[in-house]
Structure 1
Amino acid sequence: MQKILRLIIVLSVGIAMMFGGRWYAYVALGDSPYDEVGIALNGYMPAPLRNWGCHKMQTRFVGQMPPHGCAGPDGRSWL
């Protein structure tokens, strides 16, 4: 029973690191704010992380339209 629990914990941490790392790479290092996988991962993040990611991308991609999930009510301004 203890081995199964340990396996589940290790797999959960590994999956969270994989998706979290991919999201961070999209937000902090991506070449474009319009990466489909990054947009989807950003949509699944909790609101504080999603807001941080949108603000980070806004400073990196000045003058570009915001991706889905980072757009304001008019669809053209950043959150």
Structure 2
Amino acid sequence: MAIVSDVIGALLIITLIVHLLTLEETFPLWFWGLLFALFAGGGVGAVFEYKRIFSRNFKIMLQNLKELEELEEVKP
């Protein structure tokens, strides 16, 4: 997913550069659609990436809690 969001970001930057080089006065409809699709795709990619990172950190916290409980059981 990180690669997908990077590609979407790169496409957005390339699209903006091409638009600035053409110096059109108004944005055509296809450009607005492309910008919306790129922002939506980037947002979805970012949400999934943060969800993956949070899930991994949560699993590590649960593992540490289990280890701590095992240490408390060993203490007399």
TM-score range, shorter chain: 0.3 to 0.5
Question: Which one has a larger percent helix, Structure 1 or Structure 2?
Answer: 2
TM-score, structure 1 normalization? 0.39
Higher RCO (CA 8 Å, separation ≥ 6 residues): 2
Structure having the higher Rg: 2
TM-score, structure 2 normalization? 0.40
